[in-house]
Structure 1
Amino acid sequence: MVFVDKKVIAFALVAVAAILVIGVLVMLPKIEELKPVRKSAPLVNVSDYSYKVSVEKPELFFQELGDAKKAGEKTSTELTVYNQNLALVKEVREMFLESGVNLVEYKDIASQIDATSVLFRDLSFEDTIVLEQNYEFDIVSEAKMLEKYIDKEITVEVIEGDSTATFTGKLLNASDGLLLETGEGIVALSNISRISFPELPEGLITKPTLVWKIWTESTGKRNTQTVYLTSGMNWRADYVAKVNEEETAMDFSGWTTITNSSGTSYPNTKLKLVAGDIHLVSPVQPYPDRYYDYAEALGGAVPKAFTEEALFEYHLYTLDRTTDIKDNETKQISLLASENVPVQKEFVFDGAAQGNKVQVKLKFKNSEEQALGVPLPKGIVRVYKEDSSGQLQFLGEDSIDHTKTEDEVRLFVGNAFDVSGERIQTESVNVRKGVYLDSYEITLENQKDTEIEVVVVERIGPYATVTSNSDAFEKKSATEIEFTVKVPAKGEKTVSYTVETRYFF
């Protein structure tokens, strides 16, 4: 039997207790940080503000606005664009605030901003809180200036023959020409060459502005982050495929096309693109995409510029550098570039859906073994091939949906000129109540100098069974079968089958 000194046991218990106490003391601040906290607005008169500050983008020329102080050292901008005419803007700007209530005019924002989505954070002082927010978008124009100056004095110059005349008076009406009350009476003016206004009326602004009333206890400079959603921005993927002479491989490159009509520019911004269909309660209006021909870019591979990662159930593409995105601009940035991607040309005949036409498709697999293997955002693929003189010719285009890795892609390029098909129903018999036998015959004609392979697509009912067939077929689904057959050069091939269909009355 082993005996342990009671003093040793007591010492060990004290040591364990001390460790536990120290651990609790260390973790206590972190536990406190995780406690839910509700920020309460101070009881102040928001109309009685003590400081006014105008915050603009630093790369723009600052102008005084009344007694507003100039501020707005922007330290970073991040732009996340969705392919649903939507973008998330994140800006960090520096501003100086006084203790108390501050009136902040935050300028150079997107004119299509969703003002209800704005999130403001003071990154330097936790006590800062937004008391009120207004979105002012009454942009100055000649019509609005005239409307504001009804019953006020303006000066108007009009053309009278080879000279001009100047009239000063109170504006009475501006709906059809101008009606002025002058010292010599009321005059109606037309042929106006110039209108002079004494000042910019209150309520009119030169650019969309967020106006905040912000309260803080801390005086000084601080970094602030503003986050908001805006429409007027879209992106799409555009792909270029250049097939080789044998039509067995292709060079495949992708471009992102970003269109900005949000009402402001985003200089030196971190750009991220989200591929996927997010849910919106009120879908934004679709923005018309612009189409560009990338045939000139086929001369060589373009280095990959984006890093791809999974985000929730979507895919996020991050540009590895900053870029400038100007207002009313369409920008293209390389997404991927692969060479010698294996491709297979297919002839597909679906007589029930496309009449006598035989479609030409290019099939490839989005796998790493075939020099791809990255999620492909939805977009348009344009296909080119060199002619006998080495000049690129456009073959056709098709759209692809969001395509995950290891998926097979089929591009519909166009209809074959020298290959056609005909589908006829040769027999229909009512065997018994609710049971029918239908026979079909498909004739394929090939006027090319080489043998080709054609995929024949046939659709049958969900309660149908093929009872006889001239060629082997593959059942693709409960309602679709495919025959893959050879058609000789300058020859024909006939495919026939009979299907028994049950109907439940």
Structure 2
Amino acid sequence: MMKTGFRLLSVTILAVAWFMPPNPGMAQEAGGPVPSITEGIQLTVYNNNLAVVKDRRKMTLPQGEGTVTFTDVATQIDPTSVHFESLSDPAGTSILEQNYEYDLVGPTKLLDKYIDAKIQVVTEDGGVFAGTLLSQNEGKIVLRDDSGMIKVFTGNETVVRIELLSLPDGLLTRPTLLWKTQSTQGGSQICQVTYMTGGIGWKADYVMVVNDKDSEVGLQGWVTLDNQSGAAYKQARLKLIAGDVNRVQEESYGQAIPKRAVMAAAMDAPAPFEEKTFFEYHMYTLQRPTTIRQAQTKQVQLFSATNVPAKKVFVYNGAQNGKKVEVKMEFKNSKENNMGMPLPKGKIRAFKADSDGSLEFVGEDQIDHTPKNEELRVLLGNAFDITGERNQMEHRQITQVVSEDTWEIKLRNHKTEPVTIKVVEPQWGDWKVIRSNFPEKKKDAKTLEFEIQVAPDEEKILNYTVQTR
């Protein structure tokens, strides 16, 4: 007697050893065995969700015309970017056809392929029903046994498993690249497959520690890799490209893997990167192999610098920030300052030690790609005890094209030590300062600056008049 509660628990494939590869990375076709063994992977990762994979393997190529399969590729591969080459016999090996097969095996696809073929249905009460599959739809199965009787499994039976004799042609357990090759030599050869894939990217993260006098910082750079490409890269030689690489936006191919909120913490032992200029970008090469698993976020140390001379700067831009005075840390990315490596863009998180020695978070900022010998200005936040006030005191129209504006800037310091505040005033048109009670500096065509020292519990008032044409 059949039991209620239809549950499709599993699909069992019997006697399928004829199509299974001997081990991962190896495959077999009707034209003859074509094994391949992973020899080494080089992974070049870009900022913009892109990587170039160079997978070098020892493969057996059929002599003359034959078929070669290549598994364990990223599911987000761009199949139009694939390049196959024999490194052992490049002159005698050519590619006739290239295919990317991603019709992966699943219960529904398996049963669809088995229409008009023999299967066995095993129910929970021990019943075994063999016959020809006539149709299947959402768990409902129509079967004809050898006597011609039609059996319909409508969902009121508990099905333990469905047994198939073999895997139908055209279905794969993993995404696979397939080539038709022409080889004069054949046999075992070292081959390299190069392709581009999405779903993997990297960014730089920095940790900055400010000393007790705000006169030096320590800086650590970390590379954060996020791999959602659908493949793992074992013991890969890792290169990172920093820079703005132009890409053509077009319709994607293959099956994209949705990004999942997965964090697999992998803090490798510190290992320096070797940096060099590459075209108009910068390349960072990890000096040891590393394994990057699918759905993993990995951090690898980029560099570490200590005792970097720095300066705390207060900046008041009343036109932009109202009464708020920004606090920044400034330092130079130079060898003299124990740095000097071109820095990829990324987030800097700043900390400072409390009196008990514990590090406390004091702010964060985003920096752009920064070459060596350039200044870094890291915005940490707004000063609590320093305020500003900006008011326009007068506007005069001298002629139709000439006007004069008088501004008053009040700066108040409620700290216990003196501070120097950089006042930033935006300008427009053809302008010049005609009166000011503090020395001014024309930074550029649109920016006027003042540096004003304010004693503890003191207010300083800046008055200036600018003429604009």
Normalising by structure 2, we get a TM-score of 0.86
- Higher RCO (CA-CA < 8 Å; seq separation 6+): 2
Deviates more, 1:366-375 or 1:144-153: 144-153
Distance 1:449 1:259 in 2: 46
- Partner residue in 1 for 2:206: 239
SS at match of 1:143: helix
- Partner residue in 2 for 1:142: 107
Aligned 8 A contact 1:54 1:71 in 2? no
Counterpart residue type for residue 223 of structure 1: I
Percent identity between the two aligned chains: 40
Residue pairs, 1:396-435, within 5 angstroms: 396-435=363-402
> How far apart are residue 236 of structure 1 and its match?
1.1
Distance 2:82 2:186 in 1: 24
1:124 counterpart = 2:88: yes
SS at match of 2:288: strand
Aligned 8 A contact 2:315 2:327 in 1? yes
Aligned 8 A contact 1:82 1:234 in 2? yes
Residue pairs, 1:480-495, within 5 angstroms: 480-495=447-462
SS at match of 1:369: helix
Q: Deviations over 1:76-111 (max 9, x none)?
A: 221111111111111211112232111111111111
> How far apart are residue 485 of structure 1 and its match?
0.8
- Pick the structure with more helix per residue: 1
SS at match of 1:411: strand
Match of 1:186 among 140, 152, 158: 152
Q: Deviations over 1:369-388 (max 9, x none)?
A: 11111111111111011111
- Partner residue in 2 for 1:33: none
Residue pairs, 1:29-44, within 5 angstroms: none
Deviates more, 1:375-384 or 1:428-437: 428-437
Counterpart residue type for residue 486 of structure 1: Q
> How far apart are residue 113 of structure 1 and its match?
1.0
Residue pairs, 1:303-318, within 5 angstroms: 305-318=272-285
Distance 1:349 1:219, change over 3 A: same
- Partner residue in 1 for 2:135: 172
User: Is there any run of 5+ residues in structure 2 with no aligned partner, and where?
Assistant: 1-17
Distance 1:291 1:484, change over 3 A: farther
Q: Deviations over 1:107-148 (max 9, x none)?
A: 111111111111111111121000000100112223333443
Distance 2:461 2:116 in 1: 87
Q: Deviations over 1:41-88 (max 9, x none)?
A: xxxxxxxxxxx99999x7x48676777525213322211111111111
Residue pairs, 1:16-31, within 5 angstroms: none
Match of 2:440 among 445, 459, 473: 473
Regions of 4+ moved over 6 Å: 52-56, 63-67, 287-292
Counterpart residue type for residue 248 of structure 2: V
> How far apart are residue 289 of structure 1 and its match?
11
Distance 1:249 1:398 in 2: 18
Aligned 8 A contact 1:54 1:65 in 2? no
Q: Cα RMSD between the aligned structures? A: 3.0
Aligned residues: 439
Counterpart residue type for residue 210 of structure 1: L
- Partner residue in 2 for 1:21: none
- Partner residue in 2 for 1:262: 229
Distance 1:217 1:271 in 2: 34
Distance 1:399 1:266 in 2: 30
- Partner residue in 2 for 1:346: 313
1:441 counterpart = 2:405: no
> How far apart are residue 201 of structure 1 and its match?
2.4
Normalising by structure 1, we get a TM-score of 0.80
Aligned 8 A contact 2:26 2:70 in 1? no
SS at match of 2:319: helix
Distance 2:408 2:48 in 1: 45
Distance 2:399 2:155 in 1: 90
- Partner residue in 2 for 1:80: 44
Aligned 8 A contact 1:55 1:107 in 2? no
- Partner residue in 1 for 2:185: 218
Aligned 8 A contact 2:34 2:60 in 1? no
Match of 1:386 among 328, 342, 353: 353
Which of structures 1 and 2 has the bigger CA Rg?
Answer: 1
User: Is there any run of 5+ residues in structure 1 with no aligned partner, and where?
Assistant: 1-51
1:110 counterpart = 2:77: no
Aligned 8 A contact 2:228 2:259 in 1? no
Match of 1:322 among 267, 284, 289: 289
Distance 1:442 1:154 in 2: 87
Distance 1:474 1:151, change over 3 A: farther
> How far apart are residue 185 of structure 1 and its match?
4.4
